[in-house]
Each structure stands twice: as structure tokens, then as C-alpha cells.
Amino acid sequence: MTTALAEMPTEIGPEQHSSNIVETDNLTKWFDVGLGLFRGSLHLKAVDGVTLTIKRAETVAIVGESGSGKTTLGRTIIRLLEPTGGKLLYDGQDITHSAEKRLMWLRRKAQMIPQDPYSSVNPAFPVYRILEEPLVIHKQGESKEREEAVMKALQAVKLNPPTFFANKYPHMLSGGQRQRVAIARSLILNPEFILADEPVSMLDASVRISILRLLRQIQQQFGIAFLYITHDLATAKHFADRIGIMYAGRLVEEGPVGSVLGEPLHPYAQALMGAIPDPDPANRLVVRQSLPGEPPNLVDLPTGCHFHPRCPIAQMGLCDVKDPELRELRPGHRVACHLAT
Amino acid sequence: MPTLDVKNLVLWYRTRKGPVHAVDSISFALEPGQTIALVGESGSGKTSTANAILRLLPKNVLRYDGEVEFDGQNVMELTDEEFRRNVRWRGISMVFQGAMNALNPAVRVGFQVAEPLMVHYDVDRDEAADQALDVLRKVGLPADIARRYPHELSGGMKQRVVIAMSLILKPKVVILDEPTSALDVMTQTNIINLLKDLKNTDRLSYIFITHDLGLASELADLVGIMYAGELIEVGPADGVFVRPKHPYTGKLLASVPRLRSEEAPDFIPGAPPDLTAPPPGCRFHLRCPVSFEKCGWSAEEFIAQMDLLQSSGEAKDKVPSIASMSAKSPTSLLIKPGANGSVSDFVQKLNAFVAATSEKNRFLKSIESVQGKTKSVEVKLYETTPPPIVGTEWRAACWLVTEGAA
Amino acid sequence: MAISAPIGLKAAFLEAARTKSGLAATAMLGFLILLAVLVPLLVPFDVVRQWSNPGQWSDNPKLVPPEWSEVFTGKRQPRTVIIPPAGQSGGFDHVRVSFEVQGQNYTIVVLKQSFDFQADAFPSEISLYMTTMFGSKSPLVRSWLTRPDGQEVQLFEDTPSLRASNVSQFRPADVITYSLTYPSFKDPSYQVYANVKQWLISNNVTTSGEWGELFPSPTGFYSNPPKAQVLLMAQLNHSMLDPRTAQVLKGKYSIKFEVDGFSSVDDANARAVVFGTVYGLIGTDDQRRDLLIALLWGAPVALAFGLAGALATVLIQTILGAISGWYGGAVDELVQRTADFYLIIPTLPILILIGILYRPSLILILFILVVFGVVGATTKVTRSIVLQVKEEQFIEAARSYGASRGRILFRYILPRVMPYTFALIALTVPAFIFLEASLSFLGLGDPNLPTWGQLLGNAYGAGPAIFYTFWWWVFFPAAGIIFTTVAFALLGYAFDKVLNPRLREQ
């Protein structure tokens, strides 16, 4: 293992710094679901050609319903999954098919914050050990320095006083506090990029905002890029710089938050926005516009635009035949729809 | 006459840690066709309220009383058997949280929908199936669905089946416990639209339990805000959503990130209290931005807050140095001044500190008097009681509201 | 409100120990462990090694209940009285006179000793032991019993042909045993019945005819004839002829040997054992062995066997199950199919076969059991737990910060599985104890080590009548097995209660 590492650059030198932390080009991730005779011929196309760029120190939100492929996209980007096709660059370096043992540097620079506060941290370890683990694995520092790092991380996530929380076990903490521990763990290796997969969806409304604010603050303080995966457009609006909307494995619209939510161009994005109520007593008097049907079966996707069977403006002969490309229709605002202008 | 009139409903559980005040004296009334949304954070007692109304009680009930008038009859006086036969499902039915995943996988959905009919009315199988088909059609499902098994249906369809099950006996009140929490946004909207439609055509009354204020506003005529087992505000949706009376309602509304407004959401500091030992006075006072002397700080809370303030760092040099604190009674405590402070010095410093920072550190407002003793300082706190819920159409349990109304 | 299962072995153990069954289990196991530690100190292993050597146990009464059982009968039961050979304290008085008559040397040796008998029941047996030293011609040995009522009864005459080189040492090889209770027809000690008959007839207690009814034929006794020790030690009246009515004559008895030798070197020594009807804390078996020793040694043997077997199999199965669940794919397939195969192997019949063919030692039995248990039910259970833990999100987070698969398995997942493993060990121990007991019961266990199962097997092998009548032979080993297995089962149950959310009390 050491010899293999010696052959490879374990660090990316400063000269390699790219302004884009993550770049994907037509990234696909298919899962083989065929059994017996169909082995190798049936695929669940969780991610089906996503081209996305995440710049340094920005937050990109990926919004989609369950089964849209947003979680798989996140996992593929930090190489917990190997892409089936396309290209994946991290800081300018191609990691599409790198072997796990050659990715130790990525494991230091890219971290993740899981969703469920009840399983996001190891329940058998005290907080101190949870936070020390990544440092031990990456052989960073002596125990004294590691202790300092742990205390600093706890302070960064506002678990004060840190010595009080360091000895607690997760079951002694509230859901919000556990998510703070998970965030502290993601910070401990000074990463450049953090994948936050629905980090607040299981928390109470009053706690949710404090965690999102903390993430925002951390991003600004440490200059970390975030990929925020969520089903909740409203939090994405308030906590992301750019927003990407996924439908059936594809990015259908992507751009700056103001532009995308101010003027959604894709019919799906428009429907999604229309479906989410803000608290307003007038809501009860109207019937909300919605889409008919269900998202498509990912094993047997519609031809052309994946959205066309549910689309209110689909044109037969075009939308059901031709895959729509992401086109930049507004500054930095791309849409994958033949009919959007 | 209201369809459902709940008065002082109480439900406490017995646990190893002590009694849990899950539902503490809740009152509200529902006119025919009216919907109340019960909104609160997890553990605020929303589901327990529903269980208490439907008398679905676990084994470890410690206290269960109050009045539930349904159609003018106090159903709390019925025996369990009478209640089961005449009220539950026939008068008040429920869509349980996660029920769509609890459908029997081995029984065709048509039969599952029809079953309550056969149990309650002794209807024969064919007629029950016919009626089930009607209800399934009403919730927007195609006729052939009755012969299918749950695993063949999508989440939205299963949720519609569950709603059909709750409607099959034509109840007047349906309790909806987070009916869309596991569904996608689009499906959620479709289900909400269905519920709206049913409400208008059948004059159904809903008790809509949710943690999502946006969703609540989709169905609610009345809004009840629950906090730590209490209904702290209840009133018409047009009022509560727009000009909330209780500070908690205000903070809760402010914590909702909005899609159609640039206003940044705010959070509520702290966490909901432990229901085995709810705070004295107003249960929200620890997290309240406008709490004052009447809100019920106890000596123990005062000490904890003071400790927090001392360890927080920012206010360290400003807090008068303290050697130790001990509670003498629920409303008085003794403070030993730190190393180089005399008692009179300390009293002076504390008074100055209170005057300067009590707007920010609201617990300091609970000080009624500070008295220097020989070696320590006695701090007396205001004695208070929990705020009563006041008002008629629109009620709130907060001392500030009380004073405004009076 | 969800109450989560405790995390980690220590937390689980502490919580399990607080439940009622856990408390009981801890107390029972504490007792067993204390016993297991103390037994080797109290009863040296050497004693156990002699378990199958009958010579070791010949001074114990045969098949008698524990001493304390006399509280049930209400009668004072006799304890065993041993009169040691001359030269030892309390031994026979030894008088030897050599003289010459007409150029011929003669020696007369008289050995005499008395014992006090105050019990309400007759001894179970009387045995006399003799060793003689003589020249070319065997001496004439005669013996008498003198009763408290002054009556003297001759027991037997013999001219022993076994020549000892030294009588003071009383070496077992030089000793002739005269059992008064179980003489065979050819034995000189059989004379005791003829002598007693003469004595009783001369005292008008019986007639020749009546005696003939008691002992109808020289080759066999009928159902319940009076034994020599009853006739010799009963009050002298007609009731003594029926052992059910015979009354013990209490008082001082003395046993006398006279040896008439025909050379100057002749000498003799004797020993006598009057066997009691009760013995020790839990009695003896048909080989006169002290069952207490086997019962006590059964505890460490059962514990060691059960624990070693359960630990080895459950740990191996756990690790294989964890590897199978964690790595998945071909490894998973291999382990699971092997487990399926192993589950259908009939272990007990195979063990019986091996037992019949090889009579394996306890260690070998253990080894075979472990070999047949490297995969099995625990592999499947562990795999399913690992599959659950694997889905927890901190595992994925650990992969994202670079934890290796091995580290995740051994540092994160296995510690989560350990409490369940411990519960399974606790529940598997009884299975091993039962298995060993079953094999021993079938007579296929280790013949050199007394185990509880073996005691039961011996009792059963001695015949169904014995199995039902001699309760102490069955009751105590069975109680040992039940006590130990219940202790472990309770421990396992306590663990289960703590770990299984559905069993957790609200």
C-alpha cells in the first residue's frame, strides 16, 4: 500500500488548484438489477448523464423528489460509488475510476454529513473518539494536537463548552446536537468539500434553521464548498448559492438561486415550486396546481425527455424522441427543455 | 352545536423516568365542516391528543380525564365497548401516521377498505365490496384497484386507500396524523387537494396533525399550536397565521423558510423541554424572546442559566464573580460571591449587571429582590403561576396576551 | 418514546444484570464460578484420576444415601467404622507367641479390637481383611465376634495360602478379604452362616427347619434373607430372623482373630470395616464411589466444557457471519451456503458414531463439536445484524473519511454485535452442557472424568430399578445440570430482554 501511494501524488500540489472543486461531465451511475437471464441487461439508471460544476467555497443545492437520483449523485461525486460512465474531476484531477486505495487524499479533502441524527454518528463511541477517528486514520498529529483539533471542531459547531460534550455518548445528546457532532466530524480534517445529504430533514423546524445557519457560517468561515442535497426547495432557497433540480436521474434545471426560483424555466421546476405551500391562510381556499401521475420507473425510463409523459406542454415527436440538452438560457442558468426559452 | 368539543383533556403516561405530561388540559371545539390543524414540534403531544380523543391508550396510562363531547354527547362517559361500537370509526376515524406502510400485504385492498363495514354493520361481503368500491372511487382510485395487493400500489395510491378506509363508515370527524409525511411533494399536493375536496363535498371535520405550518395552512380553518403538551394558542387561521398572539407561534412561523419571500428564517434557541419535568410557569419561558418576571423562572433554572452565562465566555468579565449558588426554595437562591468580592460589592455589581443586560438575558428579569446576608446574597424570584389560556374565538396562554386582553 | 438498546458490551451487561432474571443469573453463576475455583483446591485432581479405580473406594459403603437423609427416616443410621491394622492408632491389638514343642516351632497370634455400636440400624456390610506370613505350611486362622450381651460367635476358619513378606505394612496385594455380607459359596467366610445357624439353634432362637426355609438352597437366597451382619448384631430372639423386625443390639462389640502358625516366622495382621448405611453429603454409587467428588468436579468440567465450546463456536460463527454480511458477494455466498450445509449435518448421530468407535476424551469431543460448529445459526444471526448496522449512516460517513473496510468491520461493527454475541454465548452454553451430558449418558463420554452426565449414565446403566430407587444418584447430577443451564439461560434471557426492543419494558 505504501509503495502504491508513493507512485501516486497523495497530495494535490498548490499549482494544481482549480477554481472548480468538482466537475462532472455526463456522469452516469447505473445499478445492475437484472437477475438470472437478465443479469447485466437490466439497469436502474439512478444518475443518467449529469453535468455539474461546483466552485470553491460555494453551496450548490440539488433538489429532487425521492428516486430522482440526488443521493446517488452525491455519493458518486465523493466516490463512495464508482461512476458507470462520464467523467468526474475533483480539483482538476480525474477520479472517475481511481482505485479506492489511491483515493486517500480525497477521503481527507471531501467529507460527508449524513441525514439521520440517530445513525449519523457511531453510537458506541464517545464524541471525542468520533471526532478523533478521521485524524487517527489519516495519521494526523500527536494525541495532544488531535485533542486540540477536536476541541476546535466542537467549538466551531457551537457545542460549548467542548470538554463537556467531548465525553458524552451520542444517546445523551439531542438530535440537533448529534448533527452538530456529525458536522464537527466533517470539519476535523479541514476539508475543501462537504456533501451534506439532507442534513436537517429529520430535525424539528426550530432546530433545522440553526443547523443550516451553522453550515452557512462554516462555509463562509472556512471557505468550504457544499453540495446540499435536499427535497426541500425552501431551505435550498435560503442556504444555497446555486440550485440544481433533478428529475429521474437528470439535472433538468440549474443556476443561481435567485434566477432559478425567481423564474423557473423547466415545467417540472415550475410544478415543483407551485406544489410547495408557504404558511398562508389563503391556501385553504384554492386548489393547488399539481402534476398527474408518478415519477417514471428508473429501470424502464421514457425515451427522450424523462419528464415528457407528465409534462403539460410536451410536444409529441420532439420531447419523446430527443434528449434535451442543458442550455444556458439566462446568465449561468441552464435548462434541459426543448421548449423553454 | 359543535361536532366535537374537547374540554380540559388530560393524558399522562407512566414511565421509568416519571410521569410524562403528554397532553395537559387541552380544549378546543370543531363546528361541522371545520378543520383544526394541530401544529407542534415532535413530542409536543399532537399524536397523544389524537389518541386521547379516540381513546387509543397504551398500557402505561397514568391519568386520562377531561370531556370529549361528540354530537352533544360526552363520550368520555361511555364504556370502552360502547365507545368502540358507536364512536370510534363510526363517528371519529383516523388516518394514522405511516398507515400506508401498515396495510396487510396479503389481503386485497378492496377487502381491507370494506372490513370496517363488515365489523360494524354486519354487512355481507358483496355489499361491503360495492360500498368499498364507491369510496375508492371517491378518493380518486380506479375501480380495478380493489383487487390489487398493497405492494402493487405507489405511495400516493396506498395513502388514498388508507383515507378510503377512514371514510368507509361515513364519520363526521377524521383525524389526519401527518397524512403526507412520507410522500413526495407532488403526491403530497395531490393528497392535500383530495382532502380539500372531500372536506368541501362531505362537510367533513378534520383534526389535521402536522409539524409543517405551510401544509397546515392548506386545510386549516382553525389552528392550534401545541407546545410541551399544552395547547398554547388556538384561533382562526386568518388570525393565527398573520398576527400570532403567542411568542412561540410567532417564532415558529418565523422559523419556516419561505419560497415566496426573501425574509430569512430564524430559529428558536434551545430545545423543547422534557415532558417528565415540564418547566414551571409558562412552559416556553426558557426559550422565549420576550419573557419577563411573570413567566415562571425557578431558582434551579436561574442557576443553570447563570452557569451557562458564566461559561459562555462572551459575558465572562461582565458577570459578577460567583463562588457558588444553591437553591433555597423554588423561588429563592443563595449566591456566594467569588474570591475578592464583599457581599455589598456583589449586590451592587449584580444589580448593575441586571439593569444592563436583562433585555438580553431575560431570566434576570425574574429577580424580585437581592438581599445581602453575612456571607452570601439571597436572590428572591417572583412567584408565578402558569398563564391561563384567555380569549373566546382566539385564545392564547401567555401573560402578555392576558394583559393585552384585560 | 423509543427506548434504544444499550450500546456496547459493558452497558448491555450492566443493564442485563439489573433485571430480575439477570440478578438471579448473576447470583447462580457467581456460585458456580466460586465452586469451580474452589473445587480443585478442596478436592485435588488426583482423587478424580482414581475415579475408575475400584480399589480406591473399597472402604465406602455401597450405594448408600447421604448422611443427612437420616432426618427423613428418623433413625440413627450407622456410619462406617474402620478398625485399622495393628500398628496404627486404634488398630487391632496384636499378641504373638512363638514356642517350640518337640522340635516343632509354633506361633500363635491373637488380634483383637472392639468397637462401639449405637446406631438404630444395622451396618450395610461387614468385611474383614487378613494378611499372613508363614513358613512352609499355611496357618489356621479363626475369628470370632463378641457381642455386648456376652455371646461369642465364631465367624470362620481358614488356612490362607497367600503369603505376605511383611504383615505390618498391610499391602493390598497381600490381603485376603472376607466379606461376611456378600460371601460366595466357596469362600471361607460363608462359614459364618453355618456358625450362626449352630449358635442360634443352641440358643433356641430357631430350628434347623426354619433356617432351611430362610436359606433354601446353598446356591441362592430368596428375596430378602437376613444378612450376616443382621444376625450377628441383632438382639437375640426370634424377631432377628426377619431383617424388618430385627432389633439392633447396641453396645460394645469386639472382633478377634486367632492365628495358629506352624513355624517361628508366622505372623498375621488384620483389618475390619463395618460399613455404614449413609455416607457423606450426597451418598455413594454402586462402585462405592463418593458422589460428592464427582458432583463437585462436575461443575468446573461442565462450566469449562460449556463455556469453551460456546465461546469457540459462537465467536468463530460471529466473525464469519460478520465477514459474510460486511463483504457480501462471493464471500457471503460461500459462508452462507457452507452454513446451510452445516445446519443439515446431523451432529449428534455423528458424535455417537465417533464415540462408539473411539471413546474420545473430553477435549477431543470439544474439538469435534467446534469443528462441526464453525458456521451455523449464529453466522446467520450475526450476518443479519451486520446487514442492519451496515446501513447506518455513520458507516458511510466513515468510508467518506477513509476508514478501511477492515477497520469498519472490526472497530465499528463488531463491537455493536458483541452484546448479541454474548447473549448467544450465554444461550449456547446450556446446549453444550446438555450435549456432553447426553453423550456421557449414552456411555460415550470421556471415561476418565466424572461428569454429571456420566453419573446419570452410570445410574441408568445400573438398571431401571436402581434409577428410580436410589434417588441421590440421579437427583444431584441432574440438579447440577439443570442449575447450570438455567443460570446461563437466565443470563441469556436477561440479555435478550435488554437487547431486544420488543421485550423491553416501557
Residue C224 is predicted with a pLDDT of 61
Say yes or no for a CB contact (<8 Å) between A133 and C7.
no
The residue of chain A with its CA nearest to that of B39 is: A205
> Is C170 buried (19+), middle (13-18) or exposed (0-12) by CB count in 10 A?
buried
Residues B83 and B160 reside in one and the same domain: yes
Nearest CB to B257; choose among A204, A237, A275: A237
Out of A107, A114, A124, name the one closest to residue C396 (CB).
A114
Cα C473 to Cα C459: distance, rounded to the nearest angstrom: 6
Nearest of A131, A136, A171 to residue A155 by alpha carbon:
A131
Residue B187 lies in a domain: yes
Predicted local confidence at residue A15, as pLDDT = 46
Q: In chain B, which residue's Cα lies nearest the Cα of A261?
A: B259
What are the chain A neighbours of B258 within 8 Å (beta carbons)?
Answer: 234, 278-279
For C506, which residue in chain B has the nearest alpha carbon?
B15
Chains adjacent to B (≥3 CB pairs closer than 8 angstroms): A, C
Determine contact: B400 vs chain C, CB below 8 A: no
| Paired strand residues for A111 | A194
Q: Do C397 and A182 touch (CB under 8 A)?
A: yes
Which residues from chain B sit within 8 angstroms of residue A231, using beta carbons? 184-185
- Among A104, A111, A115, select the one facing C393 at the smallest CB separation: A115
Task: Indicate the pLDDT class of residue B6, thresholds 50, 70 and 90.
Answer: very high
**pLDDT mean over B285-304:** 89
The H-assigned helical ranges of B148-272 are 155-167, 185-202, 213-219, 237-240, 247-254
Minimum mean pLDDT range among B58-67, B335-344, C93-102, C185-194: B335-344
pLDDT, averaged across chain B: 89
Which residue among B226, B255, B284 closes a domain? B255
Residue C102 in contact with partner chain B when CB distance is under 8 A: no
C4 inside 8 A of chain B by CB: no
Where do the domains of chain C lie, and which CATH numbers do they carry? 9-36+290-504 (1.10.3720), 67-275 (2.60.120.230)
- Chain C nearest C-alpha distance from A137 (Å): 6
Contacts of A206 (CB under 8 A, 6+ apart): B41, B251, B252, B255, B267, B268, B272
Using the beta-carbon criterion (under 8 Å), do C506 and B59 form an inter-chain contact? yes
In a shared domain, residues B238 and B351 = no
pLDDT of A4 higher than 60 = no
Chain A nearest C-alpha distance from C393 (Å): 5
The grid coordinates of residue C475 equal 437427583
pLDDT band for A10, please (50, 70, 90 cuts): very low
Chains touching A (at least 3 CB pairs under 8 A) are B, C
Chain C touched by B15 (CB under 8 Å): yes
- Which residue from B minimizes the CA distance to C504? B16
- Summarised one tens digit per residue, pLDDT across range A93-126 is 999 999 988 999 999 999 999 988 888 999 888 9
Residue-level pLDDT at B258: 92
Assigned C-alpha cell, A56: 470553491
Would you state the pLDDT for residue C467?
65
Reported as a single tens digit per residue, the pLDDT across A115-161 is 888 889 998 889 999 999 999 999 998 999 999 999 999 999 989 88
- For the cut 70, the answer to whether the pLDDT of residue A217 exceeds it is yes
Is B357 contained in some domain? yes
Q: Check whether B124 has a pLDDT greater than 80.
A: yes
Distance from the B15 Cα atom to the nearest Cα atom in chain C, whole angstroms:
6
pLDDT in tens, C473-503: 989 999 999 999 999 999 988 888 787 655 5
C chain contacts of residue B58, beta-carbon cutoff 8 Å: 506
Residue B278: the pLDDT is: 87
pLDDT value for B7: 94
Of C397, C400, C415, the CB nearest to A124: C415
Q: Are residues B86 and B197 in the same domain?
A: yes
Q: What's the whole-number mean pLDDT along residues B162-170?
A: 93
Query: Does B217 sit within 8 Å of A279, measured CB to CB?
Result: yes
3-state secondary structure of B273: coil
Q: What average pLDDT score do residues C346-351 get?
A: 85
| Per-residue model confidence as pLDDT tens digits over B128-162 | 999 999 999 999 999 889 999 999 998 889 999 99
Q: What is the CATH number of the domain that holds B148?
A: 3.40.50.300
A174: closest chain B residue by CA:
B271
DSSP structure string for C24-85 = HHHHHHHHHHHHHHHHHHHS-HHHHHTTT-GGGGTTSPSS---GGGHHHH-SPPPPPEEEPP
**Residue C506, pLDDT score:** 37
Domain boundary among B255, B270, B287: B255
A96 in B contact zone (CB under 8 Å) = no
| Structural domain boundaries, residue B355 | 297-381
On average, the pLDDT of chain C sits at: 88
Note whether B246 and B370 are same-domain residues. Answer: no
Contacts of C392 in chain A (CB under 8 A): 119
Residue of B103, B232, B87 whose CA lies nearest to B172:
B87
Which residue in the block uniquely carries the three cell numbers 430545545? Answer: B271
Residue B269 lies in a domain: no
- Cβ–Cβ gap B218/A283 under 8 Å: yes
Between residues C21 and A128, the one the model is more confident about: A128
Which residues from B are below 8 Å from A283, CB to CB?
214, 217-218
B403, pLDDT greater than 90: no
Q: Is residue B284 part of a domain?
A: no
Q: Does the pLDDT value for residue C7 go beyond 70? A: no
Instruction: Give C289's DSSP letter.
Output: -
From chain B, the residues in CB contact with A258 under 8 A are none
Q: What is the mean pLDDT of residues C328-333?
A: 91
What percent of chain C stands above pLDDT 90? 50
* pLDDT over threshold 60, residue A2: no
Residue C304 has pLDDT above 70, yes or no: yes
* Final residue belonging to a domain, choices B224, B255, B286: B255
Nearest residue of chain A to residue C389 (CA atoms): A119
Inspect the interface and report whether the beta carbons of C402 and A137 lie closer than 8 Å: yes
pLDDT at B17: 83
Q: What is the pLDDT of residue B340?
A: 67
Residues 303-332 of chain A whose Cβ lies under 8 A from any Cβ of chain B:
none
How far does C506 lie from chain B, in Å, by closest CA?
6
Whole-structure pTM value? 0.80
pLDDT value at B404 more than 50: no
Average pLDDT on C410-427 reads 88
How many CB pairs (< 8 A) connect A and C?
A: 68
Contacts of A9 (CB under 8 A, 6+ apart): A105
Is the pLDDT at A21 greater than 70? The verdict is: yes
**From the candidates A108, A133, A187, which should be mutated to test the interface with C, based on the most C CB atoms within 10 A?**
A133
Assess whether B31 and B159 both reside in one domain: yes
My answer on whether B109 and B39 are in the same domain is yes
Same domain for B244 and B319, yes or no, is no
For C50-94, the pLDDT digits (tens) are 888 888 899 999 999 999 999 988 889 999 999 999 989 999 999
pLDDT exceeds cutoff 50 at C1:
no
- pLDDT at position A45 is 93
Look at residue B301 and tell me whether its pLDDT is greater than 60: yes
pLDDT of residue B405: 46
Note the pLDDT of residue C219: 54
Contact B193 A290 (CB under 8 A): yes
B60 touches chain C (CB under 8 A): yes
Q: Which residues of A touch B42 (CB under 8 A)?
A: 204
**Looking at the structure, do residues B238 and B325 belong to the same domain, yes or no?**
no
Nearest CA in chain A to B253: A279
Looking at the complex, report in whole angstroms how far the Cα of residue C335 sits from the nearest Cα belonging to chain A.
21
Q: Are residues B53 and B184 in the same domain?
A: yes
pLDDT of A8 higher than 70: no
CB contact under 8 A, C393 and A114: yes
What are the phi and psi torsion angles at C146 (to 5°)? -105, 130
What are the residues facing B390 on neighbouring strands?
Answer: B396
3-class DSSP assignment, residue C113 = strand
Cβ contacts of B247 on chain A, cutoff 8 Å = none
CB contact under 8 A, B59 and C1: no
Q: What total of structural domains would you count in chain B?
A: 2
Bridge partners of residue B30, in order along the sequence? B4
The residues pairing with C157 across neighbouring beta strands, listed in sequence order, are C142
- The distance of A246 to chain C (nearest Cα, Å) reads 23
Contact between A182 and C399 using a beta-carbon 8 Å cutoff: no
Output the average pLDDT for chain A. Answer: 90
C291-327 helix and C471-499 helix, angle to the nearest 10 degrees: 30
Residue B76 near residue B57, CB atoms below 8 Å:
no
Contact C1 B15 (CB under 8 A): yes
Query: In the β-sheet with A225-230, what is the strand arrangement from edge to edge?
Result: A110-113, A193-197, A225-230, A59-63, A242-247, A250-256, A333-335, A327-330
CA of A114 vs chain C CAs: smallest distance (Å): 6
Q: Are residues B247 and B318 in the same domain?
A: no
Contact with chain B for residue C1, Cβ under 8 A: yes
Residues B227 and B338 in one domain: no
**d(Cα C227, Cα C224) in Å, to the nearest integer?**
9
- Tell me whether residues A233 and B259 touch, CB distance under 8 A: yes
CATH number of B322's domain: 3.90.1070
Q: Are residues B301 and B251 in the same domain?
A: no
B267 contacts in chain A (CB < 8 Å):
206-210, 213
Contacts of residue C1 in chain B, CB cutoff 8 Å? 15, 20
Nearest C-alpha of chain C: how many angstroms from B60?
Answer: 8
